[in-house]
């Protein structure tokens, strides 16, 4: 495994593999088993001839909350070890100064999918994600990139970005990896208090119950209200949003025969957790 800290080092490491399959897994570090699963899927996709690139970059531009950025866990040594164990070929670990020019003045905004769910709550977040992922795509020029469905909206927006900007990269969505008790793995989980960590799997339980109710025909408003009530009853929990939307355009469900998505964001103390479940009517 080789590590690049500058853009020139990255280009030099990738020059010999141009023309082969190059699979990129962008991350912000603090790698956990969910990331490891993405990296292993990348290795499988790339095969023995291809190249797996992981980026580890805590992207300041996508944080709408300075406190969240300041407390985001960073574990560079352990991240390198995880990458090594998962068969990564090249790790790109730039600093913000290397990644961004001080006087940068280009923004990249998706204007439909990012107006709802987390986009409505975190102004500028998805513009920051699009900007950094676009830069990574230009630097790495991968054939494929893998993102987790844990951030379903991010995945949908990045698919839209490659479609609308004709970026010749295949985007793969990977299933959510969960702890044994159902909590979706997230780098932020380590910041939960023991009480909130014990309560957090309740998100998965309430989503499963809601999916069953929706499948049996419960009204959209009743499904979301049930999730809000259950989560709000947990001490110290503040629901940010609970929305049942069309799984493709992420806006309000207008045709209940289409696949839907139930998405949740809730603060457990000051830690914001997200989760989601894909739904269908079984009528
Ligand atoms: O999902 C993440 O970890 C980040 O949003 C990403 C895609 C690495 C961009 O910084």
Please give the tally of structural domains in the chain.
2
- For the CA of 148, the closest atom of ligand 1 is 1
Q: Which of 130, 131, 117 is nearest to 272 (CA)?
A: 117
Cα distance between residue 258 and residue 109, in whole Å: 27
Ligand 1: centre distance to CA 54 (Å): 11
Q: Are residues 135 and 31 in the same domain?
A: yes
Contact partners, residue 146, CB within 8 Å, separation at least 6: 23, 24, 25, 38, 41, 42, 45, 171, 172, 173, 174
Cα separation of 103 and 179, whole Å?
42
Q: Could you tell me if 261 and 250 are in contact, meaning their C-beta atoms sit under 8 angstroms apart? A: yes
Task: Kindly state whether residues 205 and 164 are assigned to the same domain.
Answer: no
Predicted confidence (pLDDT) per residue in 29-55, tens digit? 999 999 999 999 999 999 999 999 999
- For residue 43, tell me if it sits in a domain: yes
CATH number at residue 239: 3.30.1300.10
Supply angle C-alpha 189, 190, 194, rounded to 5: 90
Chain-centroid distance, C-alpha 114: 14
Judge if 147 and 272 occupy the same domain: no
**Active-site residue list:** 35
Residue 93 confidence (pLDDT): 98
Residues 210 and 167 in one domain: no
| CA 246 to each of CA 188, 242, 253, 266, 278: distance values in angstroms, whole numbers, following the listed order | 27, 13, 5, 20, 10
pTM for the whole structure: 0.96
Is the domain of 168 the same as that of 197? no
Same-domain pairing of 211 and 145 = no
Best of 24, 25, 27 to mutate for ligand 1, by most ligand atoms within 8 A of CB? Answer: 27
Collapse the DSSP code of 272 into the 3-class scheme (helix H, G, I; strand E, B; otherwise coil) and give the result: strand
Residues in the chain: 283
Question: Among residues 103, 14, 28, 100, which one has the least CA distance to residue 69?
Answer: 28
pLDDT of residue 6: 98
What backbone torsions phi and psi does residue 170 show, to the nearest 5 degrees? -90, 125
Pocket residue to mutate for ligand 1, from 28, 99, 130, most atoms within 8 A of Cβ: 28
Question: 220: CA distance to ligand 1 center in Å?
Answer: 30
Could you tell me where the DSSP H helices lie in the chain? 7-14, 33-46, 66-71, 76-85, 96-99, 117-121, 125-140, 152-164, 194-199, 202-215, 220-232
Co-location of 168 and 205 in the same domain: no
Q: Candidates 38, 108, 129, 157: which one to mutate for ligand 1, based on the most atoms within 8 Å of Cβ?
A: 129
Residue 154 binned pLDDT confidence (cut-offs 50, 70, 90): very high
Share of the chain above pLDDT 90, in %: 98
pLDDT tens, residue by residue, 203-228: 999 999 999 999 999 999 999 999 99
Does residue 95 surpass a pLDDT of 90? yes
Mean of all residue pLDDT scores within the chain: 97
Assess if residue 251 is contained within a domain.
yes
Q: For residues 251-272, give the mean pLDDT.
A: 95
In a domain, 228, yes or no: yes
Q: Which of 174, 209, 238 is the last residue of a domain?
A: 174
* Residue 247 neighbours by CB under 8 Å, 6+ apart: 258, 259, 260, 261, 278, 279
Asked if 147 contacts 173 with a C-beta cutoff of 8 angstroms, the reply is yes
Expressed as residue numbers, the domain containing 63 is 2-174
The predicted structure's pLDDT at residue 282: 82
Task: Tell me which residues have their CB closer than 6 angstroms to ligand 1.
Answer: 26-28, 59, 62, 129, 132-133, 151, 154
Residues 203 and 166 in one domain: no
In a domain, 49, yes or no: yes
Same domain as 248, residue 122:
no
| Closest CA to ligand 1's atom 7 | 26
Q: How far apart are CA 51 and CA 43, in angstroms?
A: 8
Residue 283 has pLDDT above 80, yes or no: no
Report the atom number in ligand 1 closest to the C-alpha of 158: 7
Closest atom of ligand 1 to 27 CA is: 8
Residues 22 and 140 in one domain: yes
pLDDT digits (tens, 9 = 90+) for 249-261: 999 999 999 999 9
183 located within any domain: no
Domain boundary among 139, 174, 209: 174
Angle between helices 125-140 and 7-14 (to 10 degrees): 50
CA of 151 to the centre of ligand 1 (A): 9
Helix (H, G, I), strand (E, B) or coil at 15: helix
The CA 137 to ligand 1 mean position distance, Å, reads 13
Tell me the pLDDT band of 133, cut-offs 50, 70 and 90: very high
Task: Note whether 197 and 112 are same-domain residues.
Answer: no
CATH of the domain at 167: 3.40.50.620
Q: Can you give the pLDDT at residue 60?
A: 97
């Amino acid at each position: 495994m080789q590590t690049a800290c500058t853009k020139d080092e990255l280009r030099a490491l990738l020059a010999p593999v141009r023309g082969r399959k190059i699979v990129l897994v962008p991350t912000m570090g603090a790698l956990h088993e969910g990331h490891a699963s993405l990296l292993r899927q990348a290795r499988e996709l790339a095969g023995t001839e291809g190249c797996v690139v992981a980026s580890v970059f805590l992207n300041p531009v996508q944080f709408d909350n300075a406190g969240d950025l300041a407390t985001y866990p960073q574990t560079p040594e352990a991240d390198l070890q995880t990458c090594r164990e998962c068969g990564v070929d090249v790790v790109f670990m730039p600093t913000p100064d290397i990644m961004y020019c001080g006087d940068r003045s280009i923004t990249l905004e998706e204007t439909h999918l990012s107006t709802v769910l987390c986009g409505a709550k975190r102004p500028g977040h998805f513009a920051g994600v699009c900007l950094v992922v676009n830069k990574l795509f230009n630097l790495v020029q991968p054939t494929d990139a893998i993102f987790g469905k844990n951030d379903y909206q991010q995945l949908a927006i990045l698919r839209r970005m490659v479609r609308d900007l004709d970026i010749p990269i295949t985007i793969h969505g990977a299933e959510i990896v969960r702890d044994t008790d159902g909590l979706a793995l997230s780098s932020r989980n380590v910041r939960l208090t023991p009480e909130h960590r014990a309560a957090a799997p309740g998100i998965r339980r309430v989503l499963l119950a809601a999916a069953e109710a929706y499948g049996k025909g419960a009204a959209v408003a009743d499904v979301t209200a049930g999730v809000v009530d259950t989560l709000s009853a947990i001490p110290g929990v503040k629901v940010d949003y609970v929305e049942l939307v069309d799984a493709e355009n992420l806006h309000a469900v207008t045709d209940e025969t289409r696949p839907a998505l139930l998405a949740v964001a809730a603060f457990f103390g000051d830690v914001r957790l997200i989760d989601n479940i894909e739904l269908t009517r079984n009528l």
